[in-house]
Structure 1
Amino acid sequence: MNPMSICTSSSSGSSSSSHSTTKAWIVHGIVVGAAVAAAIGARAYLGRSTKFRSRVVGIIPARFASSRFQGKPLVPILGKPMIQRTWERAKLAASLDRVAPLGVVVATDDEKIAECCRGFGADVIMTSESCRNGTERCNEALQKLDKKYDIVVNIQGDEPLIEPEIIDGVVKALQAAPDAVFSTAVTSLKPEDAFDTNRVKCVVDNCGYAIYFCRGLIPHNKSGKVNPQFPYLLHLGIQSYDSEFLKIYPELQPTPLQLEEDLEQLKVLENGYKMKVIKVDHEAHGVDTPEDVEKIESFMRERNLS
């Protein structure tokens, strides 16, 4: 653009530009107002709620289409579909609803995944293709369940070796932190994964609440190198939500940090909500790319895990 065009434009053009700018600010104000209203609504609920959050359901969101690994939930891991292995591990968690038929449910928009899951005995909720992430898919599935729940655990379908104790741990963490709407887990970051953008890093405060999540290495020291003495944290995909907050989550507008990092949990932090974090020992990470399948199968063979 010619920088002089602004100065030499006609008065009618200036009027038109001013009108467009005014309209843009009005639209911006409406969007921001809606986001603020949603945030206030969530805080109002949490401010009133004092009851113990006891009713818990686990949801495994699964989609076939993926930019990094299409069809990932159905990829075989030592002879079983990955999502089946995740479901079998999740069913062992003591904190999840024990009343049939629910406890752990698969939420998907793909009939191939649904058919596979029904084949090994899982309950399936069909969700729309418009869900932008696993959290929104969990919310849609929650609305379709007949029973009411206080906590929803989002169990990533690409964690075939998730320990049931970790599921129980994030549930207990949220139950013990009434000021939090979200809880998740971290483990020690391996030095070789420090600069892998598929391995999400996390930093927490002294009270165990999340400060930030990043695809890059955080904290990042002046040398730009990994400090072997620093306890870097790797974020695990599992997370649990207050069910009332989960209903409001889709109404919150996407936030700059969320969009830049492509990490859905950042929208929670950017809107001022608290997220409780627990540290666990978890050596086997999830499957993000096709190359990870061989790694996790080797891990399982070495430890005689069938």
Structure 2
Amino acid sequence: MSVLIVIPARYASTRYPGKPLAELRGASGTARSLIERSWQAANAVSGADRIVVATDDTRIRDACHGFGAEVVMTSPDCVNGTERCSEAHAALGGEFEIVVNLQGDAPLTPHWFIEDLIAGLRANPAAEIATPVLRCDGATLNALLADRQAGRVGGTTAVFGADHSALYFSKEVVPFTGTTWADTADTPVFHHVGVYAYRPQALAAYPGWPAGPLEQLEGLEQLRFLENSRQVLCVEVQARGRQFWELNNPEDIPRIEAMMAAMGLE
């Protein structure tokens, strides 16, 4: 079953313009752009047949060519990464059986998150989309809560049913727990990891659906699938000692760099 990994990247982010070109320093002090580190994360995945960056910006294209990435130029009218992945897949012939959206702001995504995601979609023929979720320990949950109290969006949480079909995703911390947690405690909150695996039919249909009220309120592209009654499979993944955080705000850079240093990531 052929697999395409697409890394959507845009320069004109509302919260953080130019984010894909922001530099992150690894354990040795080597600075590489966010998009290059996301490309490196994609290349660590087993079973991917092709990896491309999808962008509408020549600055990002040129930077990607500088470290050897394949680039597909897409329309500036794409409103989110899923629409950009859909356009890129179509431009490449639309023949891949699974398309993975590795968003360009998650350079700490371990390869097994994506490998488990692909395996989960293959094992569940009723699901049209799959996405990873990671159970929060107390330290992560407390960080999410602190970000919300400071008025920042530090991450997205997910709730799902007994069959792991998604019920909702939110930039608020759900479910409500009403307490703070010891750093090492297992909590009932799941951090949504911003990676998706799509079957091509669902991906091709997505741009034709209007954005619904929940997607518009939360600013979360995956809610369009739920609002159109498509099954989204939440695949629980394991950290295996790896720390995970997405780069959503400039304030996240020192946090991610500290994690990279602690894990010895170059």
Question: TM (normalized to structure 2)?
Answer: 0.88
By relative contact order (CA 8 Å, sep 6+), the higher-ranking structure is 2
Q: What corresponds to 2:256 in structure 1?
A: 296
Task: Kindly indicate whether residue 148 of structure 2 is the aligned counterpart of residue 198 of structure 1.
Answer: no
Task: Confirm whether residue 134 of structure 1 aligns to residue 84 of structure 2.
Answer: no
Q: Aligned residue for 1:89?
A: 41
Q: How far does residue 253 in structure 1 lie from its aligned partner after superposition?
A: 1.6
Following superposition, the deviation at residue 116 of structure 1 comes to 0.5
In structure 2, the partner of 1:178 is: 125
Q: Is residue 208 of structure 1 aligned with residue 198 of structure 2?
A: no
Over 3 Å counting, the alpha-carbon distance change for 1:227 and 1:218 in structure 2 is farther
Q: Is the Cα contact below 8 Å between 1:95 and 1:171 reproduced in 2?
A: no
Q: CA deviation at 1:182?
A: 0.3
1:101-129, Cα deviation, whole Å (9 max, x unpaired) = xx110000000000000111100000111
Aligned-partner Cα distance in 1 for 2:155–2:263:
23
Cα distance in 1 between the residues matched to 2:69 and 2:255: 26
Taking only aligned residues, the RMSD between alpha carbons, in angstroms, comes to 1.5
Gapped runs of 5+ residues in structure 1? Answer: 1-53, 98-102
How is 1:219-234 mapped onto 2 (pairs within 5 angstroms)?
Answer: 219-220=175-176, 224-226=178-180, 230-234=187-191
Alignment correspondent of 1:166? 113
Query: What is the match of residue 287 of structure 1?
Result: 247
Distance in 2, Cα, partners of 1:178 & 1:193: 36
Structure 2 distance, partners of 1:231, 1:73, is 32
Give the CA deviation at 1:194. 3.6
Q: Per residue, is there more strand in 1 or in 2?
A: 2
- In structure 2, stretches of 5+ residues that fail to align are 26-30
Deviation at 1:226, TM superposition (A): 4.8
TM-score scaled to structure 1, two decimals? 0.77
> C-alpha displacement at 1:95, in angstroms?
2.2
1:259 alignment counterpart: 216
Partner of residue 80 from structure 1, selected from 32, 48, 58: 32
Residue 24 of structure 1 aligns with which residue? none
- The structure richer in helix per residue is 1
Q: 1:212 to 1:226 in 2, by over 3 A?
A: farther
Letter in 2 for 1:167: I
In structure 2, C-alpha distance between the alignment counterparts of 1:230 and 1:111, rounded to whole Å: 43
In structure 2, C-alpha distance between the alignment counterparts of 1:267 and 1:254, rounded to whole Å: 6
Query: Which protein is bigger by CA-based radius of gyration?
Result: 1
Describe the shift of the 1:217–1:144 C-alpha distance in structure 2 as closer, same or farther (beyond 3 A): same
